[in-house]
Amino acid sequence: MSSIVAIVGRPNVGKSTLFNRLIKRREAIVDSVSGVTRDRHYGKSEWNGKEFSVIDTGGYVVGSDDIFEEEIRKQVQLALDEADIILFVVDVEQGITPMDEAVAKILRQVEKPLFMAVNKVDNAMRAADAVEFYNLGLGDYHTISSVNGSGTGDLLDAIVDIIPEPVEDEQENELPRFAVVGRPNAGKSSFINALIGEDRNIVTNIAGTTRDSIDTKYNRFGFEFNLVDTAGIRKKSKVKEDLEFYSVMRAVRAIEHCDVAVVVVDATRGFEGQDEKIFWLAEKNRKGIVILVNKWDLVEKETNTMRDFERKIRETVAPFTDIPIIFISALTKQRIFKAIETAVEVFENRKRKIQTSKLNETMLEIMQQTPPPATKGKFIKIKYCMQLPTHTPQFAFFANLPQYIKDPYRRFVENKLREHYDFTGVPITIYFRQK
């Protein structure tokens, strides 16, 4: 599980600029979660081999000074509840303001790790001015410049120093976690209620009824796992209140911490842009994925309605098309147990380990018959392959010139792996390395 770092502070101190700088170190998932008030509010960062999530809490405070203070208090408090590490950003140009003091007053009572970053320090004179921030009573600070990156390396060193080492082997006896995710009013809570046979979660036709991620233990028909009902992830223009912002944040976190993301789609609306973004969020987090097309009983059907609907989804999520798609109705309980059986199968696929000798026997023969295209007159030879000891399927192929292997061949190798071994619903990572 990755740690969450929340960037807090009053408006216009450079939180978003710092946020953008942090997530540029790795491909941001920001564009995959446009539900989080603004596209740049949620991302992934990696530093010194440690990965963590970054949340930008700012930018939506409006009103008088009194409302400013109240909104900032709520904003910071909610961030403190969700985050593992707090990054408090202040502005050396403005110095200490009453709003900085209001945030600092809350932060002094927090027992979570806290870092103060004095932003816009891009020369020695400003570095001397930063001394006044000791008056906030939060201890030492880091001087940075979000714009040119000065000082951010030292700040990141300090942050990742307290993030625990990634644990590859999760406890065997821990129950699998299936996160039921999707846009609001797609029928996530209805699906869970239909499965467990009781109204465990509140269901209304008002989108956004579920605010928190709710865990439900499922133990029937030989299956045992945790079902997590999440708040709907909706478009950025629809997220107005801070409570809903953090509902989305909890849904995002549920995806990060699950084993399989069960993406519920409203059949009456089709597989829309927001559904696609939720799908890619789960894919980028390397989770198992099952797509459930709910409310199928409400769709007028012709001969090939289901086939056409499925084909459209697969075209949208290409090239990752090896995904189970099940058409269900939470209301009539049509195929809901098939959905659970499939989610369990995907969970098992995600854990699948292939013996190195068998992998080489199968894949090397394929790659000898269809080697990578020669580049600059040089022939690429792949001599050995193995599955890496990670908790998601990752494979290393050792070649004499790995730098010349292009994406089309990478996809070819992935397709052959899927053809010979069952990795349905699971993202695969492939590395080509120097032999």
Give the domain ranges of the chain: 4-162, 177-351, 356-434
Which CATH fold would you assign to the domain 177-351?
A: Rossmann fold (3.40.50)
pLDDT at 209 over 60: no
pLDDT at 189 over 90: no
Is 173 labelled as part of a ligand binding site?
no
pLDDT digits (tens, 9 = 90+) for 403-415: 989 999 999 999 9
Is 232 labelled as part of a ligand binding site?
yes
pLDDT digits (tens, 9 = 90+) for 321-339: 999 999 999 889 999 899 9
pLDDT higher at 77 or 384: 384
Is 11 labelled as part of a ligand binding site?
yes
pLDDT higher at 231 or 400: 400
What pLDDT was estimated at residue 251? 63
Band (pLDDT 50/70/90 cuts) for residue 27 is very low
What pLDDT was estimated at residue 73? 60
Is 360 labelled as part of a ligand binding site?
no
CATH architecture for segment(s) 4-162: 3-Layer(aba) Sandwich (3.40)
What pLDDT was estimated at residue 62? 39
Write down the mean pLDDT value for the chain: 80
Is 127 labelled as part of a ligand binding site?
no
Is 217 labelled as part of a ligand binding site?
no
| Most confident range, picked from 105-114, 230-239, 266-275, 308-317 | 308-317
Is 9 labelled as part of a ligand binding site?
yes
pLDDT at 148 over 60: yes
pLDDT at 212 over 60: no
Domains 4-162 and 356-434 alike in fold: no
Is 182 labelled as part of a ligand binding site?
yes
Q: Which residues pair with 356 in a beta bridge?
A: none
Q: Which of 3.40.50.10070, 3.10.129.10, 3.40.1190.20, 3.30.300.20 would CATH assign to domain 356-434?
A: 3.30.300.20
Are 233 and 188 in contact by the 8 Å Cβ rule? The answer is: no
Is 319 labelled as part of a ligand binding site?
no
Is 14 labelled as part of a ligand binding site?
yes
Is 60 labelled as part of a ligand binding site?
yes
